[in-house]
């Protein structure tokens, strides 16, 4: 029993920072996770007892700070208690598998799956940074994944509390440096920009199958590689390539803010692409079709009647009737292309539809125009452009206007070209983004559009 309240049920994990237990909160009748922190053990060091006491106090302080963060993509810290003078974190229990275990089993993941995981983790980190909380130890082992696709980040504040994720006073590395930011590897303090790098390194590992700087038993050599900031460019990142490159920039000032990362990942992520039914035929098109069919029926009836009269007259030896070809009315030729209206223009025959409605708009051109008009609004007219996204697109890519604005706030210009219709209400286009800080990115996307209120809305993007 821990703190006369938590009954230990089973040990579910252990690592450099502590042992994790599944436990029952007997006061609130709920299952929780307890993390018993391992404090630095430095026998023979000057004031070893003082170091342990300081680490314990820091653990309590950092744990209570982490408990202030509540986010659906972060493991919640409920409380911090002590057991035999050792701090114990009481946390949300999530039946899950860590991303590290998934990668050990599968090797690497697809870019779309990684984007979906990263979007959730980035959202949690953005909320933490807004509250002044820095994680300091983002890595695959701290990303927990449930069977239904939910990803949550664990161990908020624990790395700082237990002294992990930094160089110790003796130069020994506590924990793995594979996901360190270069400035941290050089001994500088971690901040929110370091979290951006560590999340980028985690996502890089997920799509490439290994961390950016590799792994190895010689942690000092690994630290040296990390400190240089040089790594092989990603080969399997697909739509994540540009974002990962910016997140892993050796210069902390050049990295995007975590809120912008979350917004861009939300735009990249698509839960499931649905093949939509073709757009309904406009009412005007149906009317024109019915009119054409009616004219054809009338022509056939007249032709049949003329043939019958000819046959009857021949049977009664009456003078020959002129050939049918001369007496049978022909279908009216299609109306000419609409001409500019003038006061002297002759109105069309009453049997033909008005020239202005005889040619329905080209649906392919309407789709191309919709995509072109959308990008023509960006990045200056965000509110109007946001209104050209369907509710489904907003929910999948930009659930709030704030996240949408955060993404486009990084851009100074955008150009779209080579727009082509590729299928049922689908359009492909090349988009060139110019970033406010300099540099451009060229991407090819496929869009699905849906009709709504007399205009086309973008419903998905790949």
Question: Can you say which residues are annotated as belonging to the binding site for ATP?
Answer: 35
Cβ-contact 160, 231 below 8 angstroms: no
Give the number of other Cβ atoms within 10 Å of residue 295's Cβ. 14
φ/ψ (deg, to 5) at 353: -70, 155
Residues across the chain:
462
Please give the helix or strand (H or E) that residue 14 lies within, else none.
Answer: strand 6-15
- Which residue, among 294, 292, 290, 291, has the nearest Cα to 302 in the 3D structure? 294
Please give the helix or strand (H or E) that residue 130 lies within, else none.
Answer: helix 111-130
What is the C-alpha to C-alpha distance for residues 151 and 310, in angstroms, rounded to an integer?
A: 83
Binding residues: 35
Per DSSP, 2 falls in state B
- Which residue, among 225, 268, 302, has the nearest Cα to 120 in the 3D structure? 268
* Active-site choice (83, 85, 137, 164): 137
What is the C-alpha to C-alpha distance for residues 183 and 358, in angstroms, rounded to an integer?
A: 68
Per DSSP, 191 falls in state -
Please give the helix or strand (H or E) that residue 382 lies within, else none.
Answer: helix 382-386
Catalytic residue status for 189: no
φ/ψ (deg, to 5) at 217: -75, -25
Per DSSP, 167 falls in state B
Alpha-helical regions (H) of 165-238: 182-185, 192-208, 219-228
What is the C-alpha to C-alpha distance for residues 201 and 195, in angstroms, rounded to an integer?
A: 10
Cβ-contact 425, 450 below 8 angstroms: yes
| Catalytic machinery residues | 137
């Amino acid at each position: 029993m821990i703190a006369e309240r938590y009954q230990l049920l089973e040990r579910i994990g252990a690592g450099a920072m502590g042992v994790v237990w599944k436990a029952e909160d007997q006061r609130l009748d709920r299952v929780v996770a307890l993390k018993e922190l391992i404090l630095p053990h430095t026998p023979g060091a000057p004031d070893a007892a003082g170091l342990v006491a300081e680490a314990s106090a820091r653990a309590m302080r950092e744990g209570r700070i982490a408990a202030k963060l509540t986010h659906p993509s972060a493991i919640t810290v409920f409380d911090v208690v002590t057991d035999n003078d050792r701090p114990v974190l009481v946390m949300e229990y999530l039946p899950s598998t860590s991303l590290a275990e998934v990668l050990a089993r599968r090797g690497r993941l697809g870019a779309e799956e990684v984007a979906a995981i990263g979007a959730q983790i980035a959202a949690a980190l953005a909320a933490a940074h807004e509250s002044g909380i820095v994680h300091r130890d983002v890595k695959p082992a701290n990303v927990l994944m449930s069977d239904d696709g939910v990803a949550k980040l664990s161990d908020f504040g624990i790395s700082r509390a237990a002294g992990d994720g930094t160089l110790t006073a003796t130069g020994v590395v506590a924990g793995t440096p594979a996901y360190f930011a270069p400035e941290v590897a050089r001994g500088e303090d971690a901040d929110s920009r370091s979290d951006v790098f560590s999340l980028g390194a985690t996502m890089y590992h997920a799509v490439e199958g290994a961390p950016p700087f590799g792994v190895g038993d010689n942690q000092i050599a690994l630290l040296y590689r990390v400190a240089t900031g040089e790594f092989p460019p990603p080969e399997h990142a697909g739509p994540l390539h540009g974002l990962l490159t910016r997140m892993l920039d050796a210069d902390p000032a050049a990295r995007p803010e975590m809120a912008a990362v979350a917004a861009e990942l939300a735009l990249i992520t698509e839960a499931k692409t649905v093949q939509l039914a073709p757009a309904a035929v406009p009412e005007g098109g149906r009317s024109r079709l019915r009119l054409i069919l009616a004219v054809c029926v009338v022509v056939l009836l007249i032709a049949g009647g003329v043939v019958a009269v000819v046959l009857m007259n021949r049977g009664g030896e009456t003078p020959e009737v002129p050939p049918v070809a001369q007496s049978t009315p022909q279908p009216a030729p299609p109306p000419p292309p609409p001409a500019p209206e003038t006061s002297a223009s002759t109105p069309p025959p009453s049997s033909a539809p008005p020239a202005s409605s005889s040619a329905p708009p080209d649906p392919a051109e309407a789709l191309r125009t919709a995509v072109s008009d959308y990008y023509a609004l960006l990045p200056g007219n965000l509110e109007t452009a946001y209104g050209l996204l369907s509710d489904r697109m907003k929910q999948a890519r930009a659930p709030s206007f704030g996240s949408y604005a955060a993404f486009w706030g990084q851009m100074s210009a955008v150009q779209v070209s080579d727009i082509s219709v590729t299928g049922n209400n689908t359009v492909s286009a090349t988009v060139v983004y110019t970033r406010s800080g300099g540099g451009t990115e060229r991407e090819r996307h496929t869009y699905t559009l849906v009709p709504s209120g007399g205009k086309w809305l973008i419903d998905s993007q790949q």
